[in-house]
Chain A
Amino acid sequence: MSEEVSATLDTFKGQNLSWEFKGGIVELRLHRAPCNELGSVSLDEFERFVSALERFENTAHALIICSELKAGFCAGADLRELYQRSSTMETAQAVRGVRDFLERIHRALNRIDASPLTTIAAVHGVTFGGGLELALACDLIIADKTARFAFPELRLGLIPGFGGIPRLKRDVGNAVIRDLLLTGRSFNATKAQQAGLVSQVVGEGEGLRAARATAAQLGKFDRRTVAVAKQFIKPIPYEELQREIDIFCDLFSRPAVQAGLKKFVESRDAQPYLP
């Protein structure tokens, strides 16, 4: 089925993500196997979603982002696509391509972050790198107990590039950020809740139900008041986000990154996210 056939005013079914607006709640579902890696097709569809968001904001009160895949919420950037594209280019051209991709995804995530809707990431399983950054753009993270969170970017000689550090700094203490970033280890849902990253931990397979129940509760409040409160509570660190792009691009130009990407893409290791 083509995108055009499957798109209506309130629903969209794309290759990698779909959305539906029903009962005041917009649900954005990720469904790109194996674990919703974010590449160029996903970005196109995210941009399409963000364009549709304004229309929903006039009538909806909540946005839920979730995954339809058993493996998890999202394993982050599509490193295979990144490696395949960048390895055939001159360094300067590859860095320009990466900067363009990052600026586009930042615009999309900043728009979700700034939405007057209350936004909930309902996560399970692997929530790594760009997947965690997507969740961090939301107001609340509801995790089922299978969820694992990590920022393994240092293994590639990089830092998170989709807004992860500025948004983490907004939400949790610096010791937690150092632990996540500098060790590259993963936190389970309980640990993530103790760290202040996750608002609710629920049983396996219960994340979406809990997110819907939370969204229904939010629908009882005055939408205008919620929007004003959110704007006051959750400032968007635009300057740091821009700085993150600059640092990422600077690091990306080093040969160590291509070597790290190659190692990851070719790895058959059980823990390829570790160096």
Chain B
Amino acid sequence: MIGGIPDKMVFMPTADETLDEILNLAAAHFKVPREKLSPDDDFFRALGIDSLQTLDLLTKLENHFRVELPDYELQGVTDFRTLAGKIQARR
């Protein structure tokens, strides 16, 4: 609590902020220019990643956002915006 306000209310980032963080992180980690990535991109195609690298991305996201993302929750998720929603729901 800070000044009577619960911590989550003070520090909870917005969905757009989470999305932006994901795009920055993915661009840096997979060495893709940030301006080439858009929220609705298919991230497998945009990042050019295979199944082993997808696991690498999952680990990076979990470590960065300090959340647990069960693999099955990400099944069928292909764009950054939906991914951000999944992470936001666990923050």
Q: Contact residues of A with B, CB < 8 Å?
A: 34-35, 71-72, 75, 125-126, 145-148, 150, 183-186, 188-191, 269-274
Contact = CB atoms under 8 A, between A and B. Distances in A.
Contact of A271 (B54, B56, B62): B54
Interface in B39-87: 44, 49-52, 54-56, 58-59, 62-63, 68, 70-72, 74-75
Contacts of B75: 271, 274
B71 A126 contact: no
Interface of B: 44, 49-52, 54-56, 58-59, 62-63, 68, 70-72, 74-75
B52 A125 contact: yes
Given A125-B52, A126-B52, A146 B59 contact: yes
Nearest to B43: A270
A89 B56 CA distance: 37
Contacts of B55: 125-126, 148, 186
Nearest to B74: A271
A183 B72 contact: yes
Q: Is the interface of B mostly helix, strand, loop or mixed?
A: helix
A71 B49 CA distance: 12
B51 A271 contact: yes
Given A188-B63, A274-B75, A72 B52 contact: yes
A206 B54 CA distance: 22
A125 B63 CA distance: 13
Contacts of A35: 52
B71 A186 contact: yes
17 contacts: A71-B52, A75-B52, A126-B55, A148-B55, A148-B58, A183-B70, A184-B71, A185-B72, A188-B58, A188-B59, A188-B62, A190-B63, A270-B49, A271-B54, A273-B71, A274-B71, A274-B72
A35 B52 CA distance: 9
Contact of A270 (B54, B59, B68, B72): B54
Interchain residue pairs A-B with the least CB separation, the first 5: A270-B54, A185-B70, A71-B52, A185-B71, A188-B62
Nearest to B78: A270
A270 B44 contact: yes
Contacts of A72: 52
